[in-house]
């Protein structure tokens, strides 16, 4: 965020996270965060967002809550992280309590399983779009594309366990992306 820019208000941060948390059924929160935080509001750049996304993926816990904490921390520090997390969890907490008390009535509704299947399909589509957007950024850097493809093959195709794959590929990815000083070649024409 440029130093001259107005900081994002805590209320705006809470409101966004509350709406995303309340309206996202079956996953897809990270894709929705990307759309809202990068494209709609311009609070983060793609690079800032995907740095947080990578961090949210490898940290323990739920990716969407990790992402909310990252966004809040990036925008407003520790208070922002707390506000974002509370905002993300407030709505679903109330909905889960209400749904738990009405569970037997909900599953008896005709078409309820079809509705939930449709919501889940939309969430998968949003995650696919986010994956394509993330991959598009990797095209700029060949080592990133190699790590992306290796991860896809190891986890998606070969179905190897996540932790060993991350343990091997993370240091390689960091080493490949680490900024290097340009080497200056000295030519002596003597």
The DSSP string of 161-189 is -HHHHHHHHHHHHHHHHS--PPPPP----
144-152 long-range contacts (CB < 8 A, ≥24 apart) are 144/173, 144/176, 144/177, 146/176, 147/172, 147/173, 147/176
Phi-psi region of 44 (alpha: psi -120 to 50; beta: other; left: phi over 0): beta
Q: Are residues 150 and 132 in the same domain?
A: no
Specify the pLDDT at position 184.
59
Quote the pTM value.
0.59
Q: Are residues 94 and 161 in the same domain?
A: no
Q: Are residues 125 and 146 in the same domain?
A: no
Specify the pLDDT at position 116.
76
Q: Are residues 88 and 56 in the same domain?
A: yes
**Mean pLDDT of each 10-residue bin along the chain, 190 residues long:** 68 95 76 92 93 88 91 96 95 87 81 82 80 72 81 88 87 79 58
Specify the pLDDT at position 1.
43
Q: How many domains does the chain have?
A: 2
Q: Are residues 62 and 88 in the same domain?
A: yes
Range of the domain at 154: 141-178
Residue 159 maps to a domain: yes
């Amino acid at each position: 965020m440029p130093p001259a820019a107005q900081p994002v208000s805590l209320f705006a941060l809470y409101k966004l996270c509350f709406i995303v948390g309340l309206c996202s059924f079956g996953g897809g929160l990270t894709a929705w965060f990307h759309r809202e935080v990068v494209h709609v509001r311009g609070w983060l750049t793609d690079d800032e967002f995907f740095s947080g996304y990578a961090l949210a993926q490898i940290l323990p816990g739920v990716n969407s809550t990790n992402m909310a904490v990252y966004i809040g921390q990036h925008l407003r520090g520790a208070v922002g992280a707390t506000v974002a997390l509370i905002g993300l969890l407030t709505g679903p907490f109330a909905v889960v309590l209400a749904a738990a008390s009405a569970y037997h009535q909900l599953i008896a509704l005709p078409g309820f399983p079809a509705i939930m299947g449709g919501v889940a399909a939309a969430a998968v589509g949003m995650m696919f779009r986010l994956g394509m957007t993330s991959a598009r950024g990797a095209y700029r850097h060949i080592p990133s594309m190699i790590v992306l493809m290796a991860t896809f093959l190891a986890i998606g195709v070969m179905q190897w366990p996540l932790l060993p794959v991350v343990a091997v590929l993370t240091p390689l990815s960091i080493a490949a992306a680490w900024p290097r000083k340009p080497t200056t070649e000295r030519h002596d024409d003597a």
